[in-house]
Structure 1
Amino acid sequence: MGSSHLTHIAAPEGVAPGVGYTHVVTGTGRLVAVSGQVALDAAGQVVGAGDPAAQAIQVFANLGRCLTAAGATFSDVVKLTYFVVDVAHLPAVRAARDAVIDPARPPASTAVQVAALFRPELLLEVEALAFVGS
């Protein structure tokens, strides 16, 4: 399932290995930057208000649609950045991520708790960077 144009370095010398992410991912090809996606449907309505699992599923569905529009897939993703209003929501986010990402080759990632997102009913936002092989 992994992309041959990407190299994953799970534990650089002197760095403890991470669980569910890779410390360094390098790649060749065309860069794809996907803006932070939130749990809005195609009509701009919030999906799963108050439900971090439902929101995470919608967020990753939106990320998938954006990647597809750029000719990319989740296997091309080198970095995910998570913004959550409560770090207690991370298990739900990880479950949604694990449904679309190869657990043997996870991307680099950063998770940050934020005070708020642009709409109060939104619980998380995720952005992605990918390299599409030439």
Structure 2
Amino acid sequence: MIQITERIAIHPNEIQEEFMQASGPGGQHVNKVASSVRLRFNVGESSLPPFLKQRLLASSDQRLTAEGVLVITSQRFRSQFQNREDALSKLVSIIRSAAKPPRRRVKTKPSRGAKERRLNEKKKRSAIKKGRSGRFSSDD
């Protein structure tokens, strides 16, 4: 079991792994070894609690497909094992961040001084724009 929080864990069978050749530097070695990893985690069919599934599916994460599959790729390291561990840690951090309850917004009001400064600035702008108008007193 992959432990997410104290109460939430996912089974390794829920994650599909795909290994492929990584791009980037590495010489001839990079053309022989499939060190890059792509993890696929189906949020909708997982054993996560319903509230957590909703939060994950409602998130605007680019790695989430329209079908509700979370796709995580890692090719930071030259080792397949390290890339696999990196991708798993990314998955765990995404689920952990969704497990945290969202912070409630505290309503605030602008202070009296802030209101006065805003109105004074509006009056100054108004005076500047009035000065630009084409109405001139001609004494000619």
TM-score range, shorter chain: under 0.3
* Greater helix proportion: 2
Q: Report the TM-score, using the length of structure 2 for normalisation.
A: 0.26
Specify the structure having the higher radius of gyration (Cα): 2
Which structure has more relative contact order (CA 8 Å, sep 6+)? It is 1
Q: Report the TM-score, using the length of structure 1 for normalisation.
A: 0.27
* Greater strand proportion: 1
